[in-house]
Structure formats: structure tokens, C-alpha cells
A and B are shown apart, each in its own frame.
Chain A
Amino acid sequence: MSDFDVGPDEVEHIAELARVELNEEERALFAEQFADILSYFETLDEVPETDREPELTNVMRPDERRECLDQEEALQNAPESEDGQFKGPRVS
């Protein structure tokens, strides 16, 4: 069993952090499933600390203007736009 005390309230807290609204049914279902899944993930405790060799390197390019999407293309998928800009919800 996971030491994570999974209940609908905890699921709701994570959902808030993730900006996902859930209905009551989803909260209950996820609470039940997360207990199983997280206790399975806990077998990672048996993994020894292992040195990592980073394989990725930074790739740089000169900071110069180049071809990109125009304003119309950038806005074409927005549910709503105003004066050539994205329209988002009110910042309260």
C-alpha cells in the first residue's frame, strides 16, 4: 500500500495543481486507481543510485530574425481573438 493517502480530496488537490476540473465520479475512480498505480511505482525504491552521463548538449543559433508564422496563421486556431491578439479569460 502506498504511503500516499489517496482519497478524493487529495485527487482534487492534484487536479487543481494540474488545472483539470474533475467531476465526483472521476475523483472517486482516480482515488481508487491511483492507490494501485502508485504502490506499483514504489518498487522504484529498490533501484540503486546510478550515475548519469548526460547525452544532450545545448544547440545554439544566432539570435537573428527569420521566417515564422504571420499573425493570421498564429491566430487561425484560437477560439476567439480581438484586434489581432488572442482573447483569454479575464485576469482576476
Chain B
Amino acid sequence: MSHNGYITEEEIAGEDGPLAGKTVAVKDNISTEGVRTTCGSAMLEEYVPPYDATVVDNLLDAGATIPGKTNMDEFGMGTTTETSAFGPVENPAAPGHVPGGSSGGSAAVVAAGDADLALGTDTGGSVRCPAAFCGVVGIKPTYGLVSRYGLIAYANSLEQIGPIAPTVEDAAELLEVIAGPDERDGTTHDARDHGTDYEFAAAADGDVEGLEIGVPTELLDGAEDTVVEQFWAAVEELEEQGASYHEVSLPSLEHAVEAYYVIAMSEASSNLARFDGVRYGKSGGYDGNWNESFARSREEGFGEEVKRRILLGTYALSAGYQDKYYKKAQDARAWVQQDFDEAFEDADVLASPTMPITPFEMGESLDDPLKMYLADANTTPVNLANLPAISVPVGDDSGLPVGLQIVGQSFGEKQIIRAGSALA
């Protein structure tokens, strides 16, 4: 059965290495030389990158085979993978429901067994949400652990490329392949300069003896009862294996979603200004003045959600409103970072439900953008604070998967992999 997980199925074969014999599907906003890369948008329907993203080079050097490019919310803007110009993706783990987004195609092909592993991108939860909804594992790395060179930008200060896999160990192995500094991305760091190393797969040993888990109460408040039940059952499982937990309050998290959306939309309005139909994309024609031509190109090439975010971002950055929205959002971002720092004084990791809800039915949230934005309450704080987080499947509610999110300290990937591997 087809879940519409791929936009383009075209095989790219790698060399030999640790991922030899493995298929790794790649989200369609990550550039692949000679294979079209659409970002799920009609604007880039025929765009064929002349170069590979650094992570694609890494995959091919490691011997992986790329079976195709996966479907996604247009330019990563969505929580359901329904805003793609190439049609929605269905959740293989919960038929009739969305796979989550925006990396819904990547999670779906892994959940359906159509690919061994996949790469997604996470700007406000876009790896962790579909991992949770499809019952698989997803990791959002520390900002700067993985190169973004060749990733078509949506909101650069927030996004990271991350692995999606059936198990924590598989995800960790893939992360090992793509992590590392890159001279072509000036925001990358060497993990070895931050008191750690890249031995992620070896960290998946399930040893949680003595682990102290903080549970932010704000991330349970808005969650559905059945999700909260599954969450506590998983925490209990970690306790039985030697971990302990305490509840902690991070008041700033109440404002994370609005801060995230103001920042992401503002960055998007600037990043997507490059699509004018001249160097690539849909031409707006050659008549009239050039602003009219660009505006026509963008009217035809962009879908509704992308237009909505570009307009709201333009508004938030416009004269007279910048202090009210953008500057306050940056204050909130700094406040969220401070709250996390304080919480980590008494905890090794923080845990919450990945998503406060189980997967929407297909079509359910499309007419209500604010409802869709609010579903990102638990994932967006992590991007604002540049931290690593993993989502692991912890059960289901009448067939609808539930994920547990474990948040680590900056460059604390090994800690969250270790904790996650005790569960999946």
C-alpha cells in the first residue's frame, strides 16, 4: 500500500562503509546532485540541485543507498505533512491519520519498512513529531552538531538535520555518520570541543542506573489524558531500571510556541525572498514591472501555509511592529534558555510527551492553522534553546502511537541516546 511517502523514487548508490546494504531515505529539502529537490513545493517542482548537501556526501561515503526523496510539508511548514504540493502522506502506523510533520514522508517510509532509515529536518519538532506519530525513533541534534550546507533554509537559527529509525541504536548509528564540523557551515561545532565525542551508537546501552530525570510540569498541563498515562508508564519503566525523577517548573515554556512562530516566520519571510522565479522556480513572466513579476511567481509557486507564514513574518519584522513581536520573541527565547539551564542543575535529562496529542485525522487541522501551531508546544522549546532531544515510541492509545521526548544538555546526545535506548 502506498502512503505517498516519496516525492521522487530514484536510487543513488553509495560507496562502501558502515551503512553498506542500508537504505536511507532523504527529506526533499536536502540537496541531492542531479536528483530533483522540491521542498514539497510547486515552486521547486523542476529544481535539480547542481551539488550535494554535506549530509548526503556523508551518507554516500558511508556506503548507504538513497532510495528516494521523501514527502514533506511545503518548505517544512506544517505539523501534519498535508501542506505538500505533492499530496498528503498517510500514517502507516495509524491508517486514516496524519503521520505528523513536517518530515512525515521520512517517518512514514521507515514505519512502513520501505526504507531502513531516513533523514528529516527539525525546525520546531519536524523530526520528533512524525517519529512520535508513526511509532519510530527521531533525534533532533544540538544546534551546530550537523552541517546544514545544502539544506534549503526555512528558519536557519532553529533547524537541524536529524535521523529517523526503528530503534534508538539505529538512529544513533546514522547520527554518527552525519555529525561533525563543516567549513561550509559556519555554525557547526566540533563535539570534541564540548567535552564529548561522536561514539553515539556505543552509547545506546540502555544503562539508566542513577539517571535523574526532570519532568517539566508545563509540558504535561496541555496534554491529553491518554498521552499523559502512557508518559507516566514509560517514566515508571525507567524508574524500574534505576532512574529517578522529580517534577520541575519552567514558566517560560508557556510562551515557547508563540516565540517560536514569530522567529520562524520572520526568518522564513527573509529566507524565502530568494524565490523570485529568475534563478530557479516558477517564472512570473516578463511583462509589467519586476515586482509584479516576482509577486506572480510567488502566487503560483507557493501554497497557502507558506504564504501565511511569509506574510506574518513580514508583518512581525515591519516598522512599528518589530519591537512588539520579534524583539519580545527573542526575549522569550533567552528566557527559555535560562530556564533550561536552571533545570539542568538538578537533572541529567528532562522528559515529556513528545506531542500533547495523538495523531490528527487526515484533514482535521487544515482549516485551523492556530490549532496546528499549538500542537508544537512540547517540541518548540528545544529548538529555541538549541538543545538535543530524542523521541522514542512508548506505546499507543487504541492504535494511535505515543512518543516520549527526552531533552539533553547542549552536546549531550550520548546521554539522551543512553536514556532512550532503555525504552526502544
Residues of B close to A19: CB separation below 8 A: 273, 276, 291, 294-295, 298
Size bracket of the B interface: 35 or more
B290 near A88 with CB under 8 A, answer yes
Q: A18-B314, A20-B311 are in contact. Are A76 and B295 (CB under 8 A)?
A: no
A41 near B261 with CB under 8 A, answer yes
> Taking the complex as formed, is B288 at the interface, i.e. its CB lies under 8 A from any CB of chain A?
yes
Total contacting residues, chain A, CB less than 8 A:
53
Question: Which residues of chain B (281-335) have a CB below 8 Å from chain A?
Answer: 281-296, 298-299, 302, 304, 307-308, 310-312, 314-316, 318, 321, 324-325, 328-335
Residue of B nearest to A68 (CB): B51
Residue of A nearest to B291 (CB): A19
Question: Which residues of chain A (1-36) have a CB below 8 Å from chain B?
Answer: 4, 11, 14-23, 26, 29-30, 33-34, 36
B255 near A43 with CB under 8 A, answer yes
Looking at chain A's contact residues, the main secondary structure is loop
Shortest C-beta distance, A76 to chain B (Å), equals 6
Mask, A56-92, CB within 8 Å of B = 1, is: 1011010000000100011011111000001111111
> Taking the complex as formed, is B369 at the interface, i.e. its CB lies under 8 A from any CB of chain A?
yes
B51 near A69 with CB under 8 A, answer yes
Question: Which residues of chain B (43-80) have a CB below 8 Å from chain A?
Answer: 46-48, 50-51
A20 near B298 with CB under 8 A, answer yes
B286 near A90 with CB under 8 A, answer yes
Residues of B close to A56: CB separation below 8 A: 187
Residues of A close to B331: CB separation below 8 A: 44, 47-50, 52
> Taking the complex as formed, is B269 at the interface, i.e. its CB lies under 8 A from any CB of chain A?
yes
Residues of B close to A51: CB separation below 8 A: 334
A44 near B288 with CB under 8 A, answer no
B312 near A90 with CB under 8 A, answer no
> Taking the complex as formed, is B386 at the interface, i.e. its CB lies under 8 A from any CB of chain A?
yes
> Taking the complex as formed, is B278 at the interface, i.e. its CB lies under 8 A from any CB of chain A?
yes
- Report how many A-B pairs have Cβ atoms within 8 Å: 156
Q: A47-B331, A52-B334 are in contact. Are A89 and B50 (CB under 8 A)?
A: no
Residue of B nearest to A92 (CB): B289
A77 near B334 with CB under 8 A, answer no
Residues of B close to A77: CB separation below 8 A: 46-48, 50, 279-281
Most chain B CB within a 10 A radius of its CB, from A30, A44, A48:
A44
Q: A20-B310, A43-B255, A89-B289 are in contact. Are A79 and B282 (CB under 8 A)?
A: yes
Residue of A nearest to B283 (CB): A79
B285 near A89 with CB under 8 A, answer yes
Write the residues of chain A forming the contact surface with B, with a CB cutoff of 8 angstroms.
4, 11, 14-23, 26, 29-30, 33-34, 36-38, 40-41, 43-53, 55-56, 58-59, 61, 69, 73-74, 76-80, 86-92
> Can you identify 7 A-B contacts, CB atoms within 8 angstroms?
A16-B295, A30-B311, A34-B311, A38-B312, A73-B50, A76-B50, A89-B294
Write the residues of chain B forming the contact surface with A, with a CB cutoff of 8 angstroms.
46-48, 50-51, 183, 186-187, 252, 255, 258-259, 261-262, 269, 273, 276-296, 298-299, 302, 304, 307-308, 310-312, 314-316, 318, 321, 324-325, 328-335, 338, 369-370, 373, 386
In the complex, given contacts A30-B307, A44-B329, what are 16 additional A-B residue pairs having Cβ atoms less than 8 angstroms apart? A11-B311, A14-B311, A17-B318, A20-B311, A26-B304, A33-B308, A41-B316, A44-B255, A44-B331, A46-B255, A47-B328, A48-B335, A50-B335, A77-B47, A80-B283, A91-B290
